[in-house]
A and B are shown apart, each in its own frame.
Chain A
Amino acid sequence: MKKEMLTGNTAAAWGVRLAEIDYIPAFPITPQTEIIETLSGWISEGAMDARFVTMDSEHSMVAAAGAASATGVRVFTATSSQGLMYGFEMLYTVAGWRVPLVMINVSRGLSSPITLGPDHNDILAARDSGFLQIHCENCQEVLDSVLMAYRLAEDERVLLPVFVNLDGFYLSFTREPVEIPDMDEVRRFLPSYKPEHAFFNANRPMAQGVAVLGGAYYSYFKYQMHLASQKALDVYKEICRDFEKEFGRKYDAIEEYRLEDAEYVLIMTNSFSTMGKAAVNRARDQGIKAGLLRLRLLRPFPEEDIRNAIREKKSVGVIDQNISVGKGGILYSEVAGCLYNEKQRPFLISFIGGLGGKDISPQEFEFIFGQLIKGAGAEKVESPHLLYTQEEWEEMQKLKEIAGKE
C-alpha cells in the first residue's frame, strides 16, 4: 500500500490497473480524457497488460465493450456527458446482454448551452438502462468503487454492467491523497473473472440479445434484469463487508453523516456532499440538529435504507444536482416515492443546486436549513427551489447586457 496525490481521473485509472483489465475500447471526451490517457500510457510502457483500442465514437465504444465482455474478459471503458448520450443506444443493449463491464462516467452538464462543469443529468438519464450506478464523493472512493464495481458486476447473482460516477473538475482534475492498495491485496478481494455464464466462443456458435417477438417474452427478460438489480443490493453489501475486511475502508449503499440524532437532513450525492457535510457542521455549531444522507448507490435504489435513515426526521431537503425540465429534481421524486406509504415521514423539500458546476455557497446551505426548520409550518415552498444568489443574478444581468439583450 502506498499513498499518493492523485486526481479523480488517475485514481480511476489506478482502480482499472489494479483490477487487471483485459480490454479497453476508448474514446476521449473532456473531462474524462485523463483516465484514458493514463491507461494508454501505462499500456504502452508495459505497466499494464491490456488491449487498448481507440474507437470511432462512444456508440462503437460501448458496443465493443459489451461484445468483448461477452467473451468472458474483463472490460473497462469511460465517458462523459454528450459522449454518454452518443453511446446511449448501446447502454440498453449491453445491459440486456447481461455483460459485467464497468464504465466510468465523469459527470458534466449536457448541451445546450455547452459547459464543462458537472451535473448529473448525464448519468441519471441512464438510470433506467439496467446499469447499476455507484456515485463517488472523493478520489479514494473512485479507486475503491472501481474494484467493488467489478465484484458486483461479475457476481453470478447479478451480471449487470456497472457505472462508477464522479464529478467533472470537482473530482476528475482535483488531486487529493489516495491510498493505492497492493496488487496481492486486490487479487484477494477481486480474483480474475471466471464466467460460468454463457459467453462468446469462436468454437461454439450462439446468439445473444436475440429478437423476442411478443410482450410476454420481452417482459420476462426485462423483469429479470430488475430482479437481478434488486439482488445486487444485498450482493453489494456483502462486497462492502469484504472490502472493509481487506482494506479497512467502510462503504454502504448510503452514507449517514451526523444523522443519528439529526432533525433536519440534507440528501445529496457525489462530490458536493463534502460541502454539504461542512454545512451540517456549521449548522451543528449553531445548535441546529443537522445531518446528511449521501446516496452512494442510485441503481439499485436503496429504498429501505433511505426509509430507515429519514423516517423519523422532522424535515429533509433533497439537493438535486440535475433538473428534469418540466418536473424538477429527479432524486426528490425518487425519495418522495419511497416514503409515500410511510405513516411517519418527514416534510420533504426539493432544491436544485450545483447545476453545471455552480457552487453551492454557505449562505445557500443556510437558506436550505432555514427552509427545513420552517418545515411543514412554512408557507408553500417553491418546488423545486433553485439555489441562486443575488450576486449570481447580477452577474447574469451583466452578461445579458454584453450579449445585447435589452
Chain B
Amino acid sequence: MLKLRFHGRGGQGAKVASRITGTAAFLEGCHVQDFPLYGAERRGAPISAFTRISRGTIMERGVIPNPDITIVMDQTLLSDPQAEPLAGLKKNGVVFINTPDSPAQVKDEYNIDAQVVTLDITNIGLDMLGSPIISTLAGAVASRIVGIGEESLKNAVEKELSKIITDQKLIAKNIEAAIYCFRTLELLKIKTIQTTQRQDSVIRMPFEPAKISTPSINTTASSLLKRTGNWRLFKPFWDHDVCTKCMICVTRCPEGCISLNEQGFPVADYEHCKGCMICAEECPKKGIKAVRESGSDSVEVMGT
C-alpha cells in the first residue's frame, strides 16, 4: 500500500489533488481511499488531504501519520508549526515540495532525510492557467511519483474537474498543465515498508478540576501571536505617488491589517496580511500592486 499526505492552504486545491490521485489510481485498477481534513474553512489556512492506494483491500481509515509520499503544495507550510507537513515522513519516503529551489537546497534548508522532489507548480499554474490554484498540478505530480499511467491521470483530471467546473476550455488547459508537470518529473523508485507501530501505552485519565479542564483560553493576544502573513502568495504594495489617501483600502481590508503612517498613507501589517488582495481590487486609483512572494525573493507579476 502507498500512503500519501497532501498539505496545502485552503483554496489551493489539496483536496482535489488527493482526489485526482485517488481517481487516477482507481482507474489503474487499485483499491483507493481519499479524504480531506480541515477546520473552519478559511482561504489560506493550512489543510491536509489523504490518499491510500493498494492492490488489496485497505484495512485502515483516518489520518495518515506515516506517509510514504508527502506532497507540500506551499513551501511556507514547512515553517508553519500548525501544519507540520514533514511530520512522520518515512526515512526512505518521498517528499514533493512546490518551490523554485532545487531538491538539494530544500533538503539542506529544512534538514530532510527523505528523497526530495521539487517543481515550481505555482509558476506553472500562473503561466498555463492564469491562477495559483494548483490542484491538478499537485495531483499530476503525486500520480507521477506513485507511478500511475498518463492516460489514467488525464481521465482522472477530467472526471474530477467536471464535478466542480463547467468551463471545458479550462478543463482542457488543466489537463495540459497536468501532463506537463507529469512529464517534467522523472519516474522514481519507491520502496514501501510496513509502518512500525508507535510504542505508546493506554492510560487512565486523571480527574482535573474545572478550573483546568474547561475549554477556555485565559492567555490574551492569541491573534497577535498567530502570524497569518505566511499564508500569502501575493503581497499588496502601495504606490504612494498614485495614492489619494481615500482610505478605501483601510475600510475594505477584512483583516483590519491596513493602517495609516504619519504622512497619512496606508501601510499593511505584513505579519497578519493574508494577501487576499481585496485592497488592490477596491483601490479606485489602482495604486496597489500585487507582488508575488516566493521564498526570499519577491517577484512583481501584476502591474497597475
The interface residues of chain B lying within 8 Å CB-to-CB of A211 are 39-40
The interface residues of chain A lying within 8 Å CB-to-CB of B208 are 224, 227
A198 to B212, CA, bound (A): 9
B197 CB within 8 Å of chain A: no
> Which B residues from 184 to 217 make CB contacts under 8 A with A?
205, 207-211, 213-217
Kindly provide the distance from the CB of B177 to the nearest chain A CB, expressed in whole angstroms: 33
Partner of B210, one of A209, A210, A213, A228: A228
The interface residues of chain B lying within 8 Å CB-to-CB of A221 are 213-215
A158 to B209, CA, bound (A): 7
| Residues B213 and A213 in contact, CB atoms below 8 Å apart | no
| Residues A209 and B216 in contact, CB atoms below 8 Å apart | yes
The interface residues of chain B lying within 8 Å CB-to-CB of A225 are 213
| Residues B215 and A96 in contact, CB atoms below 8 Å apart | yes
| Residues B220 and A205 in contact, CB atoms below 8 Å apart | yes
B212, closest chain A residue (CB): A224
The interface residues of chain B lying within 8 Å CB-to-CB of A160 are 210
| Residues A196 and B207 in contact, CB atoms below 8 Å apart | no
Q: Type the 1/0 row for A200-233, where 1 means its CB is closer than 8 Å to any CB of B.
A: 0000111111111100000011011101100100
B218 CB within 8 Å of chain A: yes
A358 CB within 8 Å of chain B: no
Kindly provide the distance from the CB of B294 to the nearest chain A CB, expressed in whole angstroms: 29
A160, closest chain B residue (CB): B210
The interface residues of chain B lying within 8 Å CB-to-CB of A157 are 209
A204 to B216, CA, bound (A): 13
A268 CB within 8 Å of chain B: no
| Residues A206 and B213 in contact, CB atoms below 8 Å apart | no
The interface residues of chain A lying within 8 Å CB-to-CB of B211 are 156, 196-198
Kindly provide the distance from the CB of B206 to the nearest chain A CB, expressed in whole angstroms: 8
The interface residues of chain A lying within 8 Å CB-to-CB of B209 are 156-157, 159, 228
| Residues A231 and B207 in contact, CB atoms below 8 Å apart | yes
Kindly provide the distance from the CB of A321 to the nearest chain B CB, expressed in whole angstroms: 32
The interface residues of chain B lying within 8 Å CB-to-CB of A213 are 39
A98 CB within 8 Å of chain B: yes
Partner of B207, one of A197, A205, A227: A227
The interface residues of chain B lying within 8 Å CB-to-CB of A205 are 220
A150 CB within 8 Å of chain B: no
| Residues A197 and B217 in contact, CB atoms below 8 Å apart | no
| Residues A208 and B216 in contact, CB atoms below 8 Å apart | yes
- Secondary structure type dominating chain A contacts: loop
A332 CB within 8 Å of chain B: no
Partner of B215, one of A156, A158, A197, A209: A209
Q: Type the 1/0 row for A155-173, where 1 means its CB is closer than 8 Å to any CB of B.
A: 0111110000000000000
The interface residues of chain A lying within 8 Å CB-to-CB of B40 are 211
The interface residues of chain A lying within 8 Å CB-to-CB of B39 are 211, 213
The interface residues of chain B lying within 8 Å CB-to-CB of A97 are 214-216
| Residues A227 and B218 in contact, CB atoms below 8 Å apart | no
| Residues B220 and A98 in contact, CB atoms below 8 Å apart | no
The interface residues of chain A lying within 8 Å CB-to-CB of B217 are 206-207, 210
The interface residues of chain B lying within 8 Å CB-to-CB of A156 are 209-211
Q: Type the 1/0 row for A131-168, where 1 means its CB is closer than 8 Å to any CB of B.
A: 00000000000000000000000001111100000000
| Residues B216 and A206 in contact, CB atoms below 8 Å apart | yes
| Residues B213 and A224 in contact, CB atoms below 8 Å apart | yes
| Residues B210 and A98 in contact, CB atoms below 8 Å apart | yes
Kindly provide the distance from the CB of A273 to the nearest chain B CB, expressed in whole angstroms: 32
Kindly provide the distance from the CB of B103 to the nearest chain A CB, expressed in whole angstroms: 32
B37, closest chain A residue (CB): A213
Q: Type the 1/0 row for B215-239, where 1 means its CB is closer than 8 Å to any CB of A.
A: 1111010100000000000000000
Kindly provide the distance from the CB of A251 to the nearest chain B CB, expressed in whole angstroms: 24
On whether A159 and B216 interact (CB within 8 A), knowing A211-B39, A213-B39, the answer reads no
The interface residues of chain B lying within 8 Å CB-to-CB of A159 are 209-210, 214
| Residues A210 and B216 in contact, CB atoms below 8 Å apart | yes
A225 to B214, CA, bound (A): 9
The interface residues of chain A lying within 8 Å CB-to-CB of B210 are 98, 156, 158-160, 197, 224, 228
| Residues A98 and B205 in contact, CB atoms below 8 Å apart | no
The interface residues of chain A lying within 8 Å CB-to-CB of B218 are 198, 204, 206
| Residues A208 and B214 in contact, CB atoms below 8 Å apart | yes
A100, closest chain B residue (CB): B210
| Residues B205 and A227 in contact, CB atoms below 8 Å apart | yes
A211 to B211, CA, bound (A): 18
The interface residues of chain B lying within 8 Å CB-to-CB of A227 are 205, 207-208
Kindly provide the distance from the CB of A204 to the nearest chain B CB, expressed in whole angstroms: 8
On whether A220 and B205 interact (CB within 8 A), knowing A205-B220, A211-B39, A213-B39, the answer reads yes
The interface residues of chain B lying within 8 Å CB-to-CB of A228 are 207, 209-210, 213
* Seed contacts A97-B215, A206-B220, A228-B209; 15 additional CB < 8 Å A-B pairs: A97-B216, A157-B209, A159-B209, A196-B211, A197-B214, A206-B217, A207-B216, A208-B215, A208-B216, A209-B215, A211-B40, A224-B207, A227-B207, A228-B207, A231-B207
Seen from chain A, the residues whose Cβ lies within 8 Å of a Cβ on chain B are: 96-98, 156-160, 196-198, 204-213, 220-221, 223-225, 227-228, 231
Top 7 closest A-B pairs, CB basis? A159-B210, A224-B213, A227-B207, A98-B210, A98-B214, A207-B217, A213-B39
